[in-house]
Amino acid sequence: MRISTPLFVIAFVLHALSAYSAQPNIIVIMTDDQGWADIGLQGKGCVTPNLDRLASEGIRITSFYATQAVCTSSRTALLTGCYPNRLGLGGTALGPKSAKGLNPKEQTIAELLKDAGYHTGISGKWHLGDHGQFLPPNHGFDESLILPYSNDMWPLGQSRGQPRAGYPDLYWIESGVVGEKVGTWSDMDKVLGKQFDWAESFLKKQKTDKPFFLYIAPSMPHVPLGRNPDYKGKGATPYAEVITEIDTRVGQLLKILQQTGADKNTLIIYTSDNGPWLNFGDHAGSAGPFREGKGTTWEGGVRVPFIARWPGVITPNRISPALAGNLDILPTLVEAAGAKMPLLPIDGESFLPLLKGQRDTARETFAYYYGDTLEAVRKGKWKMHLAHTSRSYEGLTPGVDGAPGPTKQVRVAPALYDLNKDPGERNDVSAANPDVLVELMELAKQFRLEMTNGKREVGTDK
């Protein structure tokens, strides 16, 4: 007896096959200082229906890392697939007119995808050098609208009424050309809107015969928070209001993709550059169950939200505890696009098989650097802290009304944690697991040797 296959099954299979074979459009959204718990499905402080929808239609990776918990370093890892200390940009947030930047010899995601036939664009915060040779047009972006560094690096400061002496005026730079000034608090309130408006315009003008890569790097929820009046009262705190604005604008991007028909073959990734800047109180987010925040190698500093959606390829409503980081995004996207890998060695590992459901794991090990210092290593569920000095927010009163509260420096003793049982890193189990300690000490030795032998020249303005 012959059994016929239902037409809807045939249609689904054909759609899935076409999605696997065609170069996907790619959107990467990386927010600034958004904590792990600052999406609705992972915390209680922010309401994010559009991000929740994105997750329900794709995958959340709950053990995803920023490669270092500071602006420039994390963005270096994302765009190059390297530990940033390999490229001389570890532990840094480059200030205005810095002589350093991302070396133009390094191949970014944008360059690799452009060589594979993509039209490329970036909207948002750059922070990889503000001299001409370091700007997006020299790193593979066809179009760009950026702020060159963090939005608090301007004369008016991190909060209203508290100017920061010594900082120059902050300007937009569009495709390498200096444009309008962000000169007032009213201008700052419009920053997110302008960044997402540009991204929407980029999407609307894309042609169906050429794939696109769009990198959106909102300048917030990094302080100072822009306070768009349209979102006042739409969150429990000023920080939550900004997250509501970001979430709403992500929803608008999804609508544009539907209207243009691009959503069926678009891979969207949503993540953050590091954990929350906790001493800013109600102008900061939450790391949820994890310890500490931005600027540390505790989980709260480097474990960040991660959502990916790709209709017909990523099975909806998946949650994965696999270990991965933003340095793995480059090889993942290169593989998805059928592009060529960089000529120079990278540290990232593709997790495309995880996204496609072909494997349950991604990378096996991870090195927690801050600057050039290796502060911890992870293998599987085990995380070993090495002796180091760290920023700490614990036991201190956060600031109010956008002003920063104090932080302190503490000495971190060597310790071993089982992250499956103790994600908050409170119970040192090194005494009960001497064999694990020996294994991780050897791993730390290997990481140090690799970085020492493989360090490359930082970009400099000569």
Phi, psi of 95 (to 5 degrees): -85, 170
385 labelled catalytic: no
- Kindly provide the b/e burial profile for residues 23-48, where b requires at least 16 CB atoms within 10 angstroms of the residue's own CB: bbbbbbbbbbbbbbbbbbbbbebbbb
Angle between helices 49-56 and 238-260 in degrees, nearest 10: 50
Within 10 A of 58 (CB to CB), how many other CB atoms are there?
23
Question: Angle formed by the axes of helices 329-337 and 71-80, to 10°?
Answer: 30
- Output the CA–CA distances (angstroms, integers) from residue 263 to 27, 156, 312, 334, in the order listed: 11, 40, 11, 19
Number of neighbouring beta carbons within 10 Å of residue 267: 24
Angstrom distance (rounded) from CA 376 to CA 164: 34
Structural tokens at position 315: 């099975």
One of 71, 82, 119, 385 is an active-site residue; which one?
Answer: 71
Report the candidate in 352, 29, 440 with the shortest Cα–Cα distance to residue 196.
29
Residues 462, 460: Cα–Cα separation, whole Å: 6
Q: Is 158 exposed, middle or buried (0-12, 13-18, 19+ CB in 10 A)?
A: buried
Cα–Cα dist 64/433, whole Å: 25
Q: Angle CA(454)–CA(438)–CA(326) in degrees, nearest 5?
A: 45
For 432, counting Cβ atoms within 10 Å of its Cβ (0-12 exposed, 13-18 middle, 19+ buried), the class is exposed
71 classed as catalytic: yes
What CA–CA distance (Å, rounded) separates 348 from 77?
9
Burial class (CB in 10 A: 0-12, 13-18, 19+), 343: exposed
Catalytic-role residue among 46, 82, 119, 127: 127
| Whether 34 contacts 192, CB under 8 Å | no
| H-helix segments, 41-130 | 49-56, 71-80, 109-115
Contact yes or no for 347/82 (Cβ under 8 A): yes
Classify residue 162 by its DSSP letter. Answer: B
Which residues are within 8 A (CB) of 335 and not within 5 positions of it... i.e. 6 or more apart? 350, 352
| Catalytic residue IDs | 71, 127
